[in-house]
A and B are shown apart, each in its own frame.
Chain A
Amino acid sequence: MFLEVKNLSKTYTDKKFFGENKFNALDGVDFSMKDGESLSVIGGSGSGKTTFGRIISKLLDFDGGSVKYYGKDIKSYNITEFSGIVQMIFQNPYASLNPKLKIRSSLLEAFGAGAPSNAEDIIEKTLESAGLEKKILDNFPHQFSGGQRQRIAVARALIKKPKLIVADEPFASLDVYSQNNITEIFKSVRKNTGVSIILITHDIAAAIKFADRMIIMNEGKIIKDDSSENVFKEKENAYITDLLAAMEI
């Protein structure tokens, strides 16, 4: 199994002067996926989907349960090793690139200290698969639109040739055209490189369009894990019927 998550839990503690507030972001999440599989995770705000994405990307520690890639615990991977397995794409494309660095420097970072001699070729090829031209390398991030920046972020993630890309609301702040554009890029990247993509979103239509498998999260739990067609057939779950009703409006 590529990724196996068992009984995962995460509690955010807000320390006050007297006592503390606790919030269970994840509460016993079980989940697994095969190599090359892609899926979308949907759920409302506060359902735990971003926390889930960050934990499986090793950006956040968790409190209970286990996360394993290829049967090996996520905590026993060092960051260099791990960077070749999982990469992440973030919600806000405007903050995804260092405003003080040219695109070239941002992308070269993927090679670490010693960039190979063919680094420029690799970058060029990756840019192409993200629908970008080579000339953007000499520009600064503020010269690009949100959609373009998000594509640059996709290219950066691809340079490492990861097995999995976690995309956390990658088009929440983009217009419909750019949304569609990014979804198409994801699809073609998936087809060409065999990379798995987990798309975290609250946009149900985009989620259905993107993947066959769909997970619905609510209050820190996975309440449904099924094919995109079957997910909404089950009417007895109150949350799912609510989601459906919201979609039809």
Chain B
Amino acid sequence: MNKIFKNKAAFAGVVFIAAVVFIAVFAPFIAPYEPASQDLSVRLAAPSAAHILGTDDLGRDVFSRMVYGARVSMAVGFFAALLTVLIGTLLGMVSGYFGGIADSVIMRFTDIMLCFPTFFLILLVIAFFEPNIYNVMLVIGLTSWTGLARIVRAEVLSIREREFVLASKMLAVSKSRLFFIHILPNVISPIIVYAAIGIGGAILTESGLSFLGLGVQPPMSSWGQILMQGKDYIYAAWWLSLFPGIVILFTVLSFNLIGEALRDILDPKEYS
């Protein structure tokens, strides 16, 4: 943990994410207006003291909408990444540890999943089902585990042949102990790194879906959705596009920086 504070870029990332999480949790106390309340007398108002990030085409306060949008982005990011980690780790470990038919079936299925362009697969699923925040989380989680499953499988393949695993086998240690005490803790570092970067990816995908109108539906707000509304007025009201764009950029960047730092911190000391 100390090392992450020494890495300045990662530290900045942690601070930024902490701030966004804080804002998301305490949204009702931070937002100066109701996110959905309209005031047509101040349509497309430029940033001012009353509306620090301006208003949109229905006179809604952009800052308040972004504060509530942080909830959507964080929820989608964390839950989608959690789902990704659960599925990817489980399939990767089963595949790597048991080998044989289980390995062949899981890896061919993974190959098939990798053949689809993920974003279009998500578009397809969302087009068939109702586009709402839960479906978005679910579908991102269900489509982005493939890389992790492969990484975990490769790690397990190498760990299960390590001498300490063989020694435990010779001591007649139970299968579940081998699995959860000996193998899982030793493949955890790439999983953590993948999760950190995965959260950023999920937020980006959610923004993309919302931008296309397939993500979170109005009157709920999300950063991608504000961005989408802003594109129609980009010459008249630049603040509608700029601020959500910047927040998405910095959030995803922060998660990637944290992920990179974790990779550096967790990797080298393993067997020294």
Contacts and interface: CB of A to CB of B under 8 A. Distances in A.
Contacts of A157: 167, 170
A157 B271 CA distance: 21
A156 B166 CA distance: 13
B163 A90 contact: yes
A98 B166 CA distance: 11
A97 interface: yes
Interface residues of A, number: 31
Nearest to A112: B172
Interface stretch (B85-93, B103-111, B181-189, B205-213): B181-189
B186 A142 contact: no
Contact of B171 (A58, A142, A156): A156
A59 B270 contact: no
Interface residues of B, number: 21
Contacts of B172: 79-80, 82-83, 112
A106 B168 CA distance: 8
A83 B163 contact: no
Contacts of A58: 170
A96 B167 contact: yes
A57 B170 contact: yes
B269 interface: yes
A83 B164 contact: no
A160 interface: yes
Which residue of A101, A109, A113 has the most chain B CB atoms within 10 A of its CB atom?
A: A109
Contact of B174 (A86, A91, A101, A113): A113
Contacts of B8: none
Interface of A: 57-59, 79-80, 82-83, 86-88, 90-92, 94-101, 106, 109-110, 112-113, 142, 153, 156-157, 160
24 contacts: A59-B170, A83-B171, A83-B172, A86-B170, A87-B171, A88-B166, A88-B167, A88-B170, A94-B272, A95-B163, A96-B167, A97-B167, A98-B185, A98-B186, A99-B270, A99-B271, A109-B168, A109-B173, A110-B171, A112-B171, A112-B172, A112-B173, A142-B272, A153-B167
